[in-house]
Amino acid sequence: MEGYRYNKELVDYYTSRGLWTPETLSDIYELNARGYPDKPAFIDSNKRATWKQFKNMTDRLAIKLIELGLKKKDVIICQVHNCVENVAVKIAIEKAGFIFCFAAMNLREVELDHFLKATNASAVVTSRSYHGFDHFKQFDDLRTSGKYPNFKYIFTVGDDVPDGAISIEEIFSEPIEDKYPDNYLDDKKISAYHISHIASSTGSTGIPKLIQCCANNLRMHGWAYMRRWGISYTDSALITGVLWTGPVMPAILSLPQVGGTSVMLDTFSVDAALKMIEREKLTYVTGLPAHLIRMAQSSDLEKYDISSLRFVSFAGAPFPAGVAEEVEKKLGCPILCFYGVMDTHHVFTVDPDAGFEARVYTVGKVPPWDEIKIVDDDGNPVAKGEIGTLYWRGPTGTGGYWGDREKTEECWQELGLEGWFNTNDRAKLTEDNDVMLLGRKDDVIIRGGYTIYPLETENKLSPHPKINDIKVVAMPDPELGEKACAFVILKEGESLTFEEMISYLTKSKMAKFKFPERLEIVEEFPTVRDKVNKRALGGIIARKLVDEGKIEQEIVDIWLKKGKII
């Protein structure tokens, strides 16, 4: 399938500027296998592979897929935990001329039914089991249901190979390439201009959207971090998030382009992360604020030598300003924020040399190859410093939504080079031309006609010495429509009263209508694919208000129907 947006004008424009090229991701990996054959390419909790070993793995799987008779551009769904095999599957699928479709490990039958129907997938690669759940059985039940006539093959990762599955490990160990000429795969791969990768949204608003990507927009995504952060051959990174999702892109899409080393954990733990940084002398970490905070606040931190780190980076949620300085001091390196939307793959990020305020409170400057506009509700550009909705376009842009041209046109306004993607994020441009985000447009709280931007309130409260993290969400109110509620995770051993919170905010001199009117102390926030789910927090407080007799169930039902809460 061609990307809905990728018309001739768009392709020619980015190609003429040298931003898009015929080079695929698998071409880059081939160059590394020749140039750095013995250098570590990927390392996980149990395995490591050099660039030469990785080439053998991907060649063998690519040939096996072709031998099975799959058709050019067939879709193969990959639901595999973080491991070397996961990346090998991705590259092998591109080499063989098929399309890789990412599925998060927490997706189940309802979501996977949508994936199988929408893509007409012919095969699935999955972890045999993960955290006690039998992924093979789930897919085998779907395969034998008769609802997906094109779904024939299930490949499993791991030593335990059930009946009806094809072992990825056995394929990797068999030198099947010896039966074919050295150039056998050269003409099999998908063009860098055609869809070869299907990403997916988090699904926080329903069934995940399937997103069209080509090698060019993925390569540019990684290149953006290389340019801004100076990523080179000597760099190596720890991936703490889920492979093929936004928070890990500064490693998995950047390091292969310079022959660097990507290191991943199948499940995040502080000790495992610190141990891996020390053992492999890693130069940066990419993931989520919660991971970095837990590492910095670990009582075991001093047991490990992490002096090799030159920075740590994060996305997926704003960094709690109150602990940012503590994290930088304890980890001994700067925090770098980056920002994008999975639906577009665009990249904004801060410069390593930027000041603390810019690095923590903004997402940096717009790259020279990108364009943005910030507009009011009528579509008119706002002045610098004024708040509006952020629109974007650039060479990292995706092809649109798989199988949904109408949704693509809705979000991009227009297909091709002239389209602008509506990020649905509220933002403003600072005097230094940094982009500052104020939160999702849907997260904005309207209290009796007054607008509250949750991130503004969060930033005022997060420096409180007792607060580890905070999220502000809307809660229903029968008179004003909405009010602000603060969900707070406290530092260990601390307590906080509503009165203390209000007293602290009063000193900030922020307008009082922006103050939270309820405080909820929690141990953790609900998440979707490692991102805090504010709609779930809104659902928690709305149901509490019903139980307390403060609002009617009818109000909650309306909010549920509108999708404001879950």
3-state secondary structure of 29: helix
User: Residue 529: pLDDT band by 50, 70, 90 thresholds?
Assistant: confident
- Name the phi and psi angles at 302, rounded to 5: -70, -10
Return the CATH number of the domain spanning residue range 445-562.
3.30.300.30
**Given this chain, do its domains 25-190 and 445-562 carry the same CATH topology?**
no
**Six token digits for residue 270:** 């502080």
Closest C-alpha to 500, from 527, 472, 468, 464? 464
pLDDT tens-digit map of 411-429:
999 999 999 999 999 999 9
> Domain locations in the chain?
25-190, 445-562
Residue 1 banded pLDDT, cuts 50, 70, 90: low
Query: Would you state the structure tokens that stand for residue 557, as one six-digit string?
Result: 């039902």
pLDDT in tens, 163-218: 999 999 999 999 999 999 999 999 999 999 999 999 998 765 578 999 999 999 99
At 458-500, the pLDDT tens digits run: 989 999 999 999 999 999 999 899 999 999 999 999 999 999 9
Is 250 in contact with 238 (CB distance < 8 Å)? no
Radius of gyration, alpha carbons of the chain = 24
Res 441: pLDDT? 86
Mean pLDDT of the region 443-454: 90
Exposure letters 483-521 (e unless 16+ CB within 10 A, then b): bbbbbbbbbeeeebeeeebeebbeeeeeeebbbbebbbe
Tell me the average pLDDT across 318-328.
Answer: 85
Higher-confidence residue of 487 and 358: namely 487
Give the list of residues 6+ apart from residue 221 with CB closer than 8 angstroms, or none: 249, 253, 340, 345, 347, 396
User: In whole numbers, what is the pLDDT of the chain averaged over residues?
Assistant: 94
Does position 519 have pLDDT exceeding 90, yes or no?
yes
pLDDT of residue 322: 75
Helical ranges in 183-320 per DSSP H: 215-229, 249-252, 270-280, 289-296
Q: What is the DSSP string of 393-449?
A: E-TT---EETT-HHHHHHHHSSSSTT--EEEEEEEEE-TTS-EEEEEEGGG-EEETT
* pLDDT in the model for residue 203: 66
SS3 464: coil
* pLDDT in the model for residue 513: 94
If you average pLDDT over residues 442-467, what whole number do you get? Answer: 91
pLDDT at position 300, please?
A: 97
Asked if residue 318 has pLDDT above 90, the reply is no
Q: Specify the pLDDT at position 316.
A: 67
Query: Kind and range of the H or E element at 457?
Result: helix 454-461
Position 204 scores a pLDDT of 58
CA angle 479-482-484, nearest 5°?
125
CATH 3.30.70.3040 at 25-190, yes or no:
no
**Residues 6+ positions from 379 with CB-CB distance below 8 Å:** none
Please count the helices (runs of H) and the strands (runs of E) in the chain: 18, 29
Each residue of 9-63: pLDDT tens digit? 999 999 999 999 999 999 999 999 999 999 999 999 999 999 999 999 999 999 9
Cα–Cα distance between 356 and 378 in angstroms, integer? 34
pLDDT at residue 87, rounded to an integer: 99
pLDDT of residue 2: 81
Q: Residue 530: its pLDDT value, please?
A: 73
